[in-house]
Amino acid sequence: MEDRIYLNLKREEKNIPIVFVERIEKIGEYLASFNCSNLVIFTDKLVYKLYKDFIDSLQHSYLYLFDEGEESKSIESYLKAIDYLLDRNVDRRALFVAIGGGVVGDVVGFIASTYKRGVRLIHIPTTLLSMVDSSIGGKTGINYKLYKNQIGTFYQPEMIIICPQFLGTLPKSEVLSGIGEIIKYGFTLDRSILDMKDRFENDVFEIFQDKILAMQLIKKSINCKVKVVERDEKESLLREVLNFGHTVGHALETYYNYYFSHGIFVILGMAAEMILSNILFNFDLSNLDFLIRILEKNSIKLPQRFEKSQIISIMKYDKKNINASIRMVLLKDVCDYVLGYEVNEDILYEALDRFEKIVLS
């Protein structure tokens, strides 16, 4: 396979290279190829601790450290970083580099798009989820009050650098979270990802011992996201397909107060949405068994409370539901999807009832 994929945005006449490098030592060469007044690196404290030698070896002017975790996507955290840049007179010709998971990528993307009306940005995603999902597509954002990603922009980076070596330090729950999004691509856009069903069921860690296989999965996933973003950059219709598993998944994530990493809720959400797809479109439930086996193998158990009406009311407030009707992506078959299907509340209730019996028993 090639060592780069291009994201081709016609609207902006921009070709964004997604570069694959095997070893982190190579990353410096790519950064050095950009002319800039100041190279500003943003990362979080945990990633810095794990990759201190590498990060220190980059010829940066400034290094800004966020606390790790979703809290760093707050307005306060955003403003603190802006103050840091202003205090140091960082100008528009700087180059910002975001090294980290989706949290760092999202907040730094927002900083880069707003600071002095836009500074060039490079993403170096370090979690599986950020490699296959959040670093691609240009969505940036911060949270506001209780709501996630309420303030944000679309802002494309100059380059995205993917180095699977970062995955070596990732905890199992974060690997599984990325796998959730990868499986989502398998069910919606590229069924060949599901050829590795057995490997997914066995041990998610094992997949990433095999570097070639890991790279293949990451590239296939990125290709899925790139294709959708190229056709539908600003989230209207097609981009909705990426929300498979997310309507119920997000509601569960809120209901259980972020008890698991995001992609694990996506697996749970896909399970519930497959049950709905079965009720409405006779979707083959052997696919659901596959998800259940992954959850069991990784001892994913939801806490024992499941108030269906509350979960449904959370779904109604999902920002993607126009006029509070519940719309979602459902499947007739693998990679045969229905976008924006308006689901009747009684049927949703029935599906959640079946989901509860299967997943919580």
188 touching ligand NAD, by CB under 6 A: no
Q: Annotated catalytic, 14?
A: no
As measured in angstroms, the least distance from the Cβ of 126 to ligand NAD is 4
Q: Annotated catalytic, 243?
A: yes
Q: What is the DSSP string of 138-182?
A: -B--EEETTEEEEE--B---SEEEE-GGGGGG--HHHHHHHHHHH
Q: Any residues with CB less than 8 A from the CB of 67 and at least 6 apart, and which?
A: 44, 45, 77
- Catalytic residue (one of 73, 123, 239, 327): 239
Q: Annotated catalytic, 10?
A: no
**CA–CA dist 36, 62 (Å, integer):** 13
State the amino acid at position 353 in one-letter form: D
Q: Annotated catalytic, 181?
A: yes
As measured in angstroms, the least distance from the Cβ of 2 to ligand NAD is 23
253 touching ligand NAD, by CB under 6 A: no
Hey, which bits of the chain come out as E strands? 4-9, 14-20, 39-44, 62-66, 95-100, 120-125, 142-144, 147-151, 159-162, 327-333, 336-342
Q: Annotated catalytic, 191?
A: no
Region near ligand NAD per CB under 6 A, out of 110-118, 126-134, 267-275, 347-355: 126-134
Q: Is 9 exposed, middle or buried (0-12, 13-18, 19+ CB in 10 A)?
A: middle
Output the six-digit token pair for 277. Answer: 């797809």
Contact, 162 vs 125, CB < 8 A?
Answer: yes
Backbone phi and psi for residue 40, each to the nearest 5 degrees, phi listed first:
-110, 120
Pairing of strands 120-125, 14-20: unpaired
Nearer to ligand NAD, 138 or 306 (CB): 138
Nearer to ligand NAD, 100 or 352 (CB): 100
**Residues 4-43 as x/- pattern, contact with ligand NAD by CB under 6 A:** ----------------------------------------
Among 46, 58, 82, 335, binds ligand NAD (CB under 6 A): 46
233 touching ligand NAD, by CB under 6 A: no
264 touching ligand NAD, by CB under 6 A: no
As measured in angstroms, the least distance from the Cβ of 159 to ligand NAD is 16
Residues for the chain: how many in total? 361
70 touching ligand NAD, by CB under 6 A: yes
**Residues 72-91 as x/- pattern, contact with ligand NAD by CB under 6 A:** -x------------------
As measured in angstroms, the least distance from the Cβ of 285 to ligand NAD is 27
202 touching ligand NAD, by CB under 6 A: no
Cα Rg of the chain (Å, integer): 20
For residue 306, give Cα distances in angstroms to 103, 288, 311. 28, 20, 8
Q: What is the DSSP string of 178-237?
A: HHHHHHHHHHHT-GGGGGGHHHHHH-HHHHTTSHHHHHHHHHHHHHHHHHHHHH-TTSSS
- Catalytic residue (one of 117, 145, 257, 323): 117
219 touching ligand NAD, by CB under 6 A: no
As measured in angstroms, the least distance from the Cβ of 358 to ligand NAD is 26
- Catalytic residue (one of 262, 278, 287, 327): 262
Q: Which residues are catalytic?
A: 117, 139, 181, 225, 235, 239, 243, 246, 250, 262
Instruction: Name the site residues for ligand NAD (rule: CB under 6 A).
Output: 44, 46-47, 50, 68-70, 73, 100-104, 106, 126-127, 129-130, 133-134, 137, 139, 148-149, 166, 169-170, 174, 177, 261-262
